[in-house]
Amino acid sequence: MRKLFVLDERWDSALTDLGIKMATVSEGDVACAVLKGAPAEKKVKKASLKCFYIEDPRKGLPFKPFLSLKGVIEKFKPNVVVTIRGDELFFSSLLKKKVGFKLYRVHGEAKGIRNTVLNRYIHEKYVDGVILSSKGLVNDVVVELPKVFVRGAVNTEKFKFSEEGRRKLREGLCIGDSILLGIVGRLDPVKGHDLFIRALSILVKKGLNVKGLVIGEEKNVKLCDLKALARNLGVDGNIIFITERREDIVNLMSAIDVGVVPSKGSEMIARTLLEFMACGRPVVTTEVGVLPEIVKGNFGMVVKAEEGALCRGVEAILNRNLGELGKAAREEAVENYSLRRLADIVNSFLT
């Protein structure tokens, strides 16, 4: 069976990452159609997947992008086509009858599924099934379609606790015997770094021996602004910022005692949360997106996106056995979110 994954996003999104993971674990002759120069191209080639190029449907008139996809489909002759965005779903629906493939759509965007007449028609007439990242995405467009839920996936062979990595990183960062709380994600308002810093300041004022580690590239929030916030709250000596891209992310996560995901929005596909869990870290998250559908009480806490609630969630976790919580987090990641589990879901659904 030949499967074509159409990954036409310009950025390194969680949706693109999930699409590549699904392609990687899929059985049969698998290929990906990507935009030349986009992050997906590099990831697809690194995964040793067959790679085709399509034109960007958000640039210029749609005729050229449609023809580029048509050329890929006619050359590869897929039995299954999987899309992650609306433009390529529409193009694929126009080609489906002539070529004779099954058409699937992955939905995982925070804005939800557009409930329009055209979208309902395309899904009802041409789509054979949908892969949804959250129960919250179910609406009139997809409710009657065959569906599976894939909230995210993590390589549990790569992401696993490293005692040696933990020791080296904590020594290098001068953590000592402090409890290290960590957040991993680009510096962006939606990721809630300000909530994290404010919650940390409350914990410090209560006399807890805690430090914070912020790992993420500078994007839509300036590092200097976060440092100024920490300084104004009196916790600049309790927080470490790492903004360069690091290859030792597993060691950094192993060095952290509690993984914190304080997002204010988005998070419709889990990535960092699952990586924390795979590394055996207890987690505290906000009740945003798909996060509450993943976190269970035997390894984490879900709280409101507010600094007081985040502080209380961390306190509750710290009053429990972190080792037992971390073990449960790892078991959950392996059982329900590993690439092996993803392979079972994808290969039974995309037929």
Q: How confident is the model at residue 60 (pLDDT cuts 50, 70, 90)?
A: confident
Q: Which amino acid is at 34?
A: V
Neighbour count for residue 276 (Cβ, 10 Å): 30
Is the separation of the CB atoms in 182 and 259 below 8 Å?
A: yes
CA distance 282 to 296: 10
User: What percentage of the chain exceeds 90 in pLDDT?
Assistant: 95
Joined together, the tokens standing for residue 149 give 């839920």
| pLDDT tens-digit series, residues 203-229 | 999 999 999 999 999 999 999 999 999
**CA 342, 348, 351 angle in degrees (round to 5)?**
125
CA distance 40 to 8: 8
The SS3 call for residue 191 is helix
pLDDT for the residue 308 = 96
Ramachandran category for residue 319: left, alpha or beta (phi over 0 → left; psi -120 to 50 → alpha): alpha
| pLDDT tens-digit series, residues 131-153 | 999 999 999 999 999 999 999 99
The SS3 call for residue 98 is helix
**pLDDT beyond 90 at 47:** yes
Q: How confident is the model at residue 9 (pLDDT cuts 50, 70, 90)?
A: very high
What does the pLDDT average to over 282-299?
97
Please compute, for residue 121, the number of CA atoms within 13 A of its CA located in the half-sphere on the CB side: 5
Q: Mind listing the domains of the chain with CATH numbers?
A: 2-150 (3.40.50.2000), 163-337 (3.40.50.2000)
